[in-house]
Amino acid sequence: MLDFNALNASLVYPEDILHWAENAYHERLAVVTSFQITGIVTLHMMRELGLKVDVLTVDTELLFPETYDLMNRLQDTLKFNLIPVKAELNVSQQAAKYGDTLWSRDPDSCCQMRKVVPLDKALVGYDAWITGLRRDQSKTRSTIQAISWDKRNEKVKISPLVDWTEEMVWTYIHAYDLPYNPLHDKGYPTIGCWPCTQAVSDGGDLRAGRWVGTAKTECGIHL
């Protein structure tokens, strides 16, 4: 088992963490991103560093059109190997089996079927995965470490920009003129599936627009 305390103490900068991860895991390393702002910075840094690893994205088939468009633009710009991860049932099949709009009645089950289980299955082929988690995103993420053990998947989980702020991420995106989701400019700090994502008022919690009206704060991938 890795000495996570020692690693986290010695690897401070995202570029160093990414280099370490690629050296340690090579083709057994994947980036998992939903093309939020931190993921975009991570993908750009990896290209600048010449690091090539698979890029997994969970496509629930319920993403905003703007997200699909961004995905294509980033792939054209950054030239990564994109692997869409999909649920066993498409949305129509899910509706036939569990009823329409499961997300409004039982979002935990919907996320489990459309996000958590498909990603867990996709990660079987890897030993480590890179995420875009940051401590400033929510209370539930305020104590995460850059390099940690993902107990559910039994893999190393790496969050290179864990201690960056939202402002730092935006500064990077604008400095390199990187494409980003236009919904951010319409009041959406984070963007998931369209049925479960709303715009928030200025100054609101970064994840306040997700699963509004429920106690749910995470899809389950990062629990």
Q: How far is the CB of 190 from ligand SF4 (least distance, A)?
A: 11
Interface pick for ligand SF4 out of 103, 129, 164, 180 (rule CB under 6 A)? 103
Stretch that binds ligand SF4, among 11-19, 105-113, 123-131, 156-164 (CB under 6 A): 105-113
Interface pick for ligand SF4 out of 34, 114, 157, 188 (rule CB under 6 A)? 114
> Which residues does residue 63 pair with via DSSP β-bridges, in sequence order?
193
Stretch that binds ligand SF4, among 4-12, 44-52, 106-114, 171-179 (CB under 6 A): 106-114
Q: Is 179 in the site for ligand SF4 (CB under 6 A)?
A: no
Nearer to ligand SF4, 61 or 127 (CB): 61
Q: Is 219 in the site for ligand SF4 (CB under 6 A)?
A: yes
Find the residue with minimal CB distance to ligand SF4.
193
Q: How far is the CB of 13 from ligand SF4 (least distance, A)?
A: 32
Stretch that binds ligand SF4, among 12-20, 30-38, 108-116, 170-178 (CB under 6 A): 108-116
Nearer to ligand SF4, 53 or 62 (CB): 62
Q: Is 111 in the site for ligand SF4 (CB under 6 A)?
A: yes
* HEC profile of 92-145: HHHHHHHCCCHHHHCHHHHHHHHHHHHHHHHHHHCCEEECCCCHHHCHHHCCCC
d(CA 128, CA 124): 10
Q: Is 11 in the site for ligand SF4 (CB under 6 A)?
A: no
Interface pick for ligand SF4 out of 196, 200, 207, 209 (rule CB under 6 A)? 196
Interface pick for ligand SF4 out of 40, 46, 53, 107 (rule CB under 6 A)? 107
Determine whether 219 is an active site residue.
yes
- Nearest to residue 200, comparing CAs of 215, 184, 214? 184
Query: CB within 8 A of 141, min separation 6: which ones?
Result: 133, 134, 135, 222
Q: Contact residues for ligand SF4 (CB under 6 A)? A: 60, 62, 103, 107, 110-111, 114-115, 192-193, 195-196, 219
As annotated, the active-site residues are 219
